[in-house]
Chain A
């Protein structure tokens, strides 16, 4: 076992745990967005940034940093709240996140985070990019306006379903989640129509057709359940 401190609480952790796992085991809340049980952590969204006091107050993503003996972690402070809120505001400013108009209104992780972190408005100018909706798939749709590029769909498709349909195309703010070689989703030759990407998506970017907002609640626990049930070699 490894001994560390999180928000001045002594924590005993398994050596392979991340700081996030240790914090959760102790009941300390750290906000996350790109993290999802059942998928490998990538540290992409930076909302789980924590401060390591004895690493010169360095900021590290809790989801992708392994525990170490003697770590003195700050998981919640005014500085961290302000940093996380800034990251969140940048996410909102980057694309067209219009809650009132969204199929995930009321059960969206991005919307919940705004509430949790006290974001009452976005201080950055909105980019208002012109982005498409791909509704070519018979069962599902992808609305790039609502995508935060967390990559949960990409990982669910690759790591759990093994189809590798989704990928990141382009770079920076122009990155889009696209199927195969960029053809419309409905023409994908690798998609198994399993819907795991839809249930992995934290926002309304991936959605099921023919369902109203109230029915659009996602089963985020699905991927963890599937991976846990899978027989191990």
Chain B
């Protein structure tokens, strides 16, 4: 059986979901025997490759660069997974959504040049940080803040067995 081409992506989130992913510990060895990690913040690959089987997307969509990347991911990936509460609901990054983008940026950067207000070296901040399914169709949702390593493993095992993993009960818990 050919190895699964697995990717992980980090958008507007705290990287806690990726930390939880690393908490798979020795299970990572089993994962590595069945999947190639073809793109991830923890590997040194700059371009999102073609023909990815599964991608775990951590974080909400908060700026134009992330929105572009998501669209590229959707075009090049078979199964897109919203990985953790920020990707599923917007979560903590969405706390800014009731506020005006400019007010938020001014509060952070003060007067003068404010990065993110317009397109530039820093990508433009979107008016709201949204769950990824607000931007692209999403195939699977893996909630949790962060999802525990056990929950991630249960989900991945389903995928590795060639099934469409279905989380139920306590494994669907937000927060």
Contact = CB atoms under 8 A, between A and B. Distances in A.
Direct chain A–B contact by Cβ atoms under 8 Å: yes
Interface of A: 92, 96, 98-102, 105-106, 111, 114-115, 118-123, 125-126, 128-131
B151 to A, nearest CB: 12
A interface: dominant SS: loop
A114 B141 CA distance: 13
Contacts of B143: 120-121
Interface string B131-166: 101100010010101000000000000000000000
Given A121-B141, A128-B94, A105 B175 contact: yes
Nearest to B138: A121
A177 B125 CA distance: 34
A100 B92 contact: yes
Contacts of B138: 121
Given A105-B175, A115-B172, A130-B99, A120 B92 contact: no
B107 interface: no
B8 interface: no
Contacts of A128: 94, 97-98, 128
B91 interface: yes
B88 A120 contact: yes
Contacts of B91: 98-101
Contacts of A121: 82, 88-89, 131, 133, 138, 141, 143
Interface residues of B, number: 29
Contact of B98 (A96, A105, A106, A119): A96
Contacts of A125: 134
B1 interface: no
A87 to B, nearest CB: 17
B58 interface: no
Nearest to A125: B134
B175 to A, nearest CB: 3
A102 B175 contact: yes
A115 B134 contact: no
27 contacts: A96-B94, A96-B95, A96-B98, A98-B89, A98-B90, A98-B92, A98-B95, A99-B145, A99-B174, A105-B175, A106-B175, A111-B175, A115-B169, A115-B170, A115-B174, A118-B168, A121-B88, A121-B89, A121-B133, A121-B138, A121-B143, A126-B89, A126-B130, A128-B97, A128-B98, A129-B98, A131-B98
A101 B172 contact: no
Interface string B113-128: 0000000000000001
B174 A126 contact: no
A101 B99 contact: no
A99 B85 contact: yes
Contacts of B167: 120
User: What 7 A-B pairs are tightest by C-beta distance, nearest first?
Assistant: A99-B175, A130-B98, A100-B145, A128-B97, A120-B141, A99-B174, A105-B175
Contacts of B174: 99-100, 111, 114-115
B173 interface: yes
B172 A114 contact: yes
Nearest to B167: A120
